[in-house]
Amino acid sequence: MEIDEIFQKLGIEKEIVYHQAVFTVDEIKKLKLDIEGEGCKNLFLTNKKNFYLVILPEDKRADMKEISKITKGHLSFAKEEDVKRILNLERGSLTPFGIINDKEKEAMILIDRELVGKKLLFHPNVNTATISISYADLIRFIEYEKNPYKII
């Protein structure tokens, strides 16, 4: 199923805007999009055994030391080949919605607690659009896809 089909099935409401391709948080901020929500930074990390999709507020630095306490091991950025193999996403398109392609449920989602209860902005698996959904709907989507997740 595609993202829109899953959203319809789950009753998830979204707002969407289309724009030029962007590859970084800084690039998207320069566009000054007319859409409500907190921008999110998504990191795909590995400890050589497991993969973690970390979702943070766009201006927050990842505290790798704290995250590695949860993941129980030294973390590094996953290789582009792993992002493609597991989430079927290209550079600049990393988003939690890529878990629709994670058939083996290899990616654990780690969500920064500062995002709880907010409207959130993400790419819908392509970096030429941005969608706004509620935090509660993000959790419903993740639970529907059955990937493990944790609030950090």
pLDDT tens track for 8-64: 999 999 999 999 999 988 898 889 899 999 999 999 999 989 999 999 999 999 988
pLDDT at 91 over 80: no
CATH code for residues 3-151:
3.90.960.10
Single-letter amino acid code for the residue at 116: V
Contact 67, 54 (CB under 8 A): yes
Residues near 25 by beta carbon (within 8 Å), at least 6 away in sequence: 39, 41, 58, 59
**φ/ψ (deg, to 5) at 133:** -140, 165
pLDDT at 92: 82
pLDDT category at 83 given cuts 50, 70, 90 is very high
Give the CA distances from residue 48 to residues 9, 37, 101, 141, in Å, rounded to whole numbers and listed in that order: 35, 33, 20, 27
pLDDT at 88 over 80: yes
pLDDT category at 66 given cuts 50, 70, 90 is confident
* Mean pLDDT across 68-80: 89
CA nearest 15: which of 146, 139, 122?
Answer: 122
pLDDT at 110 over 80: yes
On the CB side of 152, how many CA atoms lie within 13 Å of its CA? 23
pLDDT category at 73 given cuts 50, 70, 90 is confident
Does this model's pTM top 0.75? My answer is yes
The sign of the dihedral angle between the CA atoms of 134, 139, 145, 147 is positive
| Pairing outcome for strands 129-134 and 107-111 | unpaired
**φ/ψ (deg, to 5) at 79:** -70, 150
pLDDT at 1 over 70: no
Please tell me which of 23-32, 66-75, 89-98, 112-121 the model is most confident about, judged by mean pLDDT.
112-121
Rg of the chain taking only CA atoms, in angstroms: 14
pLDDT at 128 over 80: yes
